[in-house]
């Protein structure tokens, strides 16, 4: 186990390092040199020279990379040439918004998918099962941004129940916060819920077919105890790891939903920084999301292997 | 026909079996019909569009659907929505199919090399796929768009890049297993060159999971391309595409709700058709697969 963990952590660190190199060279691959890219348009040669010196752009590339990564590791992500704000401060502002949105979305997805998945497995091949299968297929085929637009159309434009867009911090007004967050969170949850229903159903079906379930039934345990205590517990671990594997899809979903509902989180910041040519911010956002993704995948791997030791042996062979 | 059945070669019998398994599933047949429809519309495009998709007319702004001359109404510039949908079909299909094909060709080639030669090449390849996979699709697309500029071809490139690692991994996993098979060992011993073994013997036998992956990737890429166009990173206005139409519709939700409905419906129907066809194919090729 220890060797497996060390190997996985090592791989993740290596991936993280290469990803940071890719991000670093990505900005240097921009049209024009990085100094022009990082300054506002039409900056004078003096300003450009100053930026080059400030960011060490006249140094050799490995030195530049070492400098940059050193700054990143100490929390200095540069300043946005457009707003003049420190990128780390902007991130600190935006990250909680995205975290709240994602947390609510994951919660909604779990609350929807676990009971539906269980029911679909228990009532296999009934109308209910087909309905849930069709539902999850629709959830995967219909683009989420269209759901978002339809939701706005129905709940904001027609019914006036919810605000169409924007965001209010929880500390300022908790009710308004929830009113603003619920639509984007549901839209973000749909794709995840669709995947989870399928997973929950097949995990449940698999554990219901295992010997220990037959043993539990033979012992005379009540149906509720067999399902609640034995089958469910073993299926849930599979579903939890699937949530981990869906983080990439969630991050992509965040970019889209935040754009539709004008939620000032990381996703909106990413797009804004592209259209404003705010490269220090873009660089930071891409680095942060890639790191989050790599770390979550690592944790998912480790949790999964802790729950399912067979994976470790397979992993050691390849 | 029945008299001939006994004389059918094993391969023809297999084909017959596949066809029966496929036509037994109504969703697969509906999916096939849907895909055929959308592909046909994409090919015919401008020929069957009732009006010029880019002709603006300020006298006919936001005509409601089902009115004379404009079956699906008009948009904020008086352009015919049906014509724009029809012409936009090509961009969507192109994005879905091209991105998947590029990814499949590159991924299968690299996966074959990686699984066949193993060793250092394989290690490098696996780390490379890890790195690409560590950028979520939207982030990758955003990064590429900012370096190369937003356009449909760059969106397709971003989609293809994000799909390649999966193709590499699937092919590699298959090759690792097939490489130890006796017929491959026999070919090796008889001195067949590596490319013959890889492309002749091994590739032929790992097609099933690849076909399944292609059928999953195409609808995913259609949604992906529409999403990027919606975000302004794909097809650029005024060119008609389903994604850009939806993003334009967002500004007029209170005046013209239908304008937001039709392009979304088109995306949903197209992806649903491909998904149903793909599910059917998977059942035919791999009946033991999860259901």
Which A residues in the span 68-127 are in contact with B, Cβ-Cβ below 8 Å?
none
Structural domain includes residue A24 = yes
Q: Chain A residue with minimal CA distance to B141?
A: A252
Question: In sequence order, what are the beta bridge partners of A86?
Answer: A79
Judged by a CB distance cut-off of 8 A, whether residue B138 touches chain A is yes
pLDDT of residue A168: 81
**Measured between CA atoms, how close is A290 to chain B, in angstroms?**
5
Judged by a CB distance cut-off of 8 A, whether residue A297 touches chain B is yes
**A56 and A130 housed in the same domain:** no
Q: To the nearest 10°, report the CA torsion of A184, A190, A191, A194.
A: 170
Q: Chain B residue with minimal CA distance to A247?
A: B136
Q: Chain B residue with minimal CA distance to A12?
A: B130
* Phi, psi for residue A294 in degrees, rounded to 5: -65, -45
To the nearest 5 percent, what fractions of chain B are helix, strand and coil? 75, 0, 25
- A73, A105, A122: which is the final residue of a domain? A73
Structural domain includes residue A154 = yes
Contact A15 B134 (CB under 8 A): yes
Which A residues in the span 216-255 are in contact with B, Cβ-Cβ below 8 Å?
247-249, 251-253, 255
Residue B239 burial by CB count (10 A; 0-12/13-18/19+): exposed, middle or buried?
middle
- A21, A49, A73: which is the final residue of a domain? A73
Domains detected in chain B: 32-45+70-284 (1.10.3720.10)
pLDDT of residue B241: 85
**Measured between CA atoms, how close is A318 to chain B, in angstroms?**
9
- A43, A73, A103: which is the final residue of a domain? A73
Say how far apart CA A249 and CA A174 lie, in whole Å: 28
Domain count for chain A: 2
Judged by a CB distance cut-off of 8 A, whether residue A293 touches chain B is yes
Structural domain includes residue A251 = yes
Judged by a CB distance cut-off of 8 A, whether residue A145 touches chain B is yes
**Measured between CA atoms, how close is B13 to chain A, in angstroms?**
31
pLDDT of residue A258: 92
Range of the domain at A94: 87-317
Contact B143 A282 (CB under 8 A): yes
Tokens encoding A289:
């999301």
Supply the pTM of this predicted model: 0.83
Residue A5 burial by CB count (10 A; 0-12/13-18/19+): exposed, middle or buried?
middle
**A105 and A30 housed in the same domain:** no
Judged by a CB distance cut-off of 8 A, whether residue A205 touches chain B is no
Say how far apart CA B234 and CA B227 lie, in whole Å: 8
Structural domain includes residue A166 = yes
Helix axes B258-285, B242-249, angle to 10 degrees: 140
Helix axes B207-231, B258-285, angle to 10 degrees: 170
**A183 and A51 housed in the same domain:** no
What value of ipTM does the predicted structure carry? 0.80
**A239 and A115 housed in the same domain:** yes
**A52 and A103 housed in the same domain:** no
Structural domain includes residue A295 = yes
pLDDT of residue A103: 93
Mean of the pLDDT values across residues A43-53?
A: 75
Residues of B whose CB is below 8 A from A297: 134
For B18, other C-beta atoms within 10 Å of its C-beta total 13
Structural domain includes residue A9 = yes
Q: Is the pLDDT of residue A37 over 70?
A: no
Selecting from A146, A202, A270 the residue whose C-beta is nearest the C-beta of B268 gives A146
Buried b (16+ CB within 10 A) or exposed e, A200-226: bbbbbbebbeeeebeebeeeeeeeeeb
Contact A142 B267 (CB under 8 A): yes
**A214 and A166 housed in the same domain:** yes
**A196 and A275 housed in the same domain:** yes
Identify the CATH number of the domain in which residue A311 sits.
Answer: 1.10.3720.10
Judged by a CB distance cut-off of 8 A, whether residue B127 touches chain A is yes
Judged by a CB distance cut-off of 8 A, whether residue A318 touches chain B is yes
Helix axes A61-73, A2-28, angle to 10 degrees: 120
Type and span of the H or E element at B27: helix B26-44
Q: Is the pLDDT of residue A289 over 80?
A: yes
**A177 and A35 housed in the same domain:** no
Judged by a CB distance cut-off of 8 A, whether residue B178 touches chain A is no
Per-residue pLDDT tens digits of chain B, which is 291 residues long: 455 555 677 778 878 877 777 777 788 889 999 999 999 988 887 787 777 777 777 777 777 777 777 677 777 776 778 888 888 898 888 888 999 999 999 999 999 999 888 889 998 998 888 888 888 888 888 888 878 888 888 889 999 999 999 999 999 988 888 888 888 888 888 888 888 888 888 888 888 888 888 988 999 899 998 988 888 888 887 788 888 888 888 887 777 777 888 889 999 999 999 988 888 888 777 655 444
Interface A:B, Cβ pairs < 8 A: 134
**A120 and A189 housed in the same domain:** yes
Peptide bond into B238 cis (omega under 30): yes
Contact A26 B136 (CB under 8 A): no
pLDDT of residue A102: 93
Structural domain includes residue A92 = yes
Contact B133 A248 (CB under 8 A): yes
pLDDT of residue B144: 83
**A118 and A253 housed in the same domain:** yes
**A52 and A168 housed in the same domain:** no
Residues of B whose CB is below 8 A from A260: 250
Q: Is the pLDDT of residue A30 over 80?
A: no
Selecting from B127, B142, B260 the residue whose C-beta is nearest the C-beta of A15 gives B127
Q: How would residue A316 be classed by pLDDT, with cut points 50, 70 and 90?
A: very low
Selecting from A143, A259, A289 the residue whose C-beta is nearest the C-beta of B136 gives A289
Among the ranges given (A10-19, A53-62, A253-262, B171-180), the one the predictor scored with the smallest mean pLDDT: A53-62
Residues of B whose CB is below 8 A from A19: 131, 134-135
Highest average pLDDT, of A18-32, A294-308, B104-118, B129-143, comes from: B104-118
Closest CA to B207 of B180, B238, B167: B167
Selecting from B137, B263, B268 the residue whose C-beta is nearest the C-beta of A142 gives B268
Which A residues in the span 16-35 are in contact with B, Cβ-Cβ below 8 Å?
16, 18-19, 22-23, 26, 29-31
Q: What is the pLDDT of residues A197-251, one digit of tens each?
A: 988 888 888 887 777 778 888 888 777 777 777 777 777 777 777 888 788 888 8
**A64 and A110 housed in the same domain:** no
Q: How would residue A318 be classed by pLDDT, with cut points 50, 70 and 90?
A: very low
Say how far apart CA B288 and CA B286 lie, in whole Å: 5
Structural domain includes residue A19 = yes
């Amino acid at each position: 186990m220890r060797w497996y963990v060390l190997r996985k952590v090592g791989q993740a660190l290596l991936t993280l390092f290469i990803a940071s190199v890719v991000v670093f060279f990505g900005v240097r691959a921009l049209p024009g040199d990085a100094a022009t890219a990082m300054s506002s348009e039409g900056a004078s040669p003096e300003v450009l020279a100053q930026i080059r010196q400030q960011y060490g752009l006249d140094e050799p590339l490995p030195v530049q990379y070492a400098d940059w990564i050193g700054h990143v590791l100490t929390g200095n992500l540069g300043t946005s040439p457009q707003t003049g704000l420190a990128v780390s401060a902007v991130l600190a502002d935006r990250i909680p918004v995205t975290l709240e949105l994602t947390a609510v979305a994951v919660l909604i997805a779990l609350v929807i998918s676990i009971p539906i998945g269980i029911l679909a497995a228990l009532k296999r091949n009934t109308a209910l099962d087909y309905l849930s299968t069709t539902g999850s297929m629709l959830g995967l085929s219909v683009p989420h941004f269209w759901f978002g637009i339809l939701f706005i159309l129905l709940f904001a434009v027609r019914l006036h129940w919810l605000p169409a867009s924007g965001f209010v911090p929880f500390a300022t007004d908790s009710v308004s916060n929830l009113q603003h967050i619920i639509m984007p969170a549901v839209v973000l949850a749909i794709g995840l819920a669709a995947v989870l229903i399928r997973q929950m159903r097949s995990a449940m079906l698999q554990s219901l077919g295992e010997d220990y379930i037959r043993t539990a039934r033979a012992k005379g345990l009540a149906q509720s105890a067999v399902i609640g205590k034995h089958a469910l517990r073993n299926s849930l671990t599979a579903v939890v790891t699937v949530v981990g594997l869906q983080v990439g899809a969630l991050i992509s979903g965040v970019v889209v939903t935040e754009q539709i509902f004008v939620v000032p989180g990381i996703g909106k910041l990413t797009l804004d920084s592209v259209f404003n040519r705010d490269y220090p911010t873009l660089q930071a956002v891409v680095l942060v999301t890639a790191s989050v993704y790599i770390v979550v995948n690592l944790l998912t791997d480790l949790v999964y292997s802790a729950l399912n030791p067979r994976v470790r042996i397979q992993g050691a062979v390849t | 026909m029945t008299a001939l059945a006994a004389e059918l070669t094993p391969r023809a019998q297999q084909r017959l079996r596949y066809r029966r398994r496929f036509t037994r599933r109504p969703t697969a047949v509906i999916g096939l019909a849907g895909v055929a429809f959308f592909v046909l519309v994409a090919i015919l495009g401008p020929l069957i569009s009732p009006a010029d998709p880019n002709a603006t007319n300020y006298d006919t702004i936001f005509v409601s659907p089902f009115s004379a001359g404009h079956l699906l109404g008009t948009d904020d510039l008086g352009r015919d929505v049906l014509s724009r949908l029809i012409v936009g079909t090509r961009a969507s299909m192109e994005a879905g199919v091209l991105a998947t094909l590029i990814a499949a060709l590159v991924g299968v080639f690299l996966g074959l090399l990686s699984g066949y030669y193993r060793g250092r090449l394989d290690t490098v390849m696996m780390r490379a796929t890890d790195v690409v996979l560590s950028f979520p699709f939207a982030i990758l697309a955003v990064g590429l768009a900012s370096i190369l500029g937003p356009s449909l071809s760059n969106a397709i490139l971003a989609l293809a890049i994000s799909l390649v690692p999966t193709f590499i991994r699937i092919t590699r996993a298959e090759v690792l297993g097939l490489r130890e098979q006796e017929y491959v060992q026999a070919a090796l011993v008889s001195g067949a060159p590596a490319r013959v073994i890889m492309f002749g013997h091994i590739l032929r036998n790992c097609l099933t999971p690849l076909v399944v992956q292609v059928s999953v990737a195409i609808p995913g890429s259609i949604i992906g391309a529409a999403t990027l166009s919606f975000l302004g990173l794909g097809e650029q206005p005024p060119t008609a595409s389903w994604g850009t139409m939806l993003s334009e519709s967002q500004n007029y939700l209170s005046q013209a709700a239908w304008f937001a409905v039709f392009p979304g419906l088109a995306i949903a129907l197209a992806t649903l058709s491909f998904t149903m066809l793909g599910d059917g194919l998977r059942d035919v090729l791999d009946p033991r697969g999860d259901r």
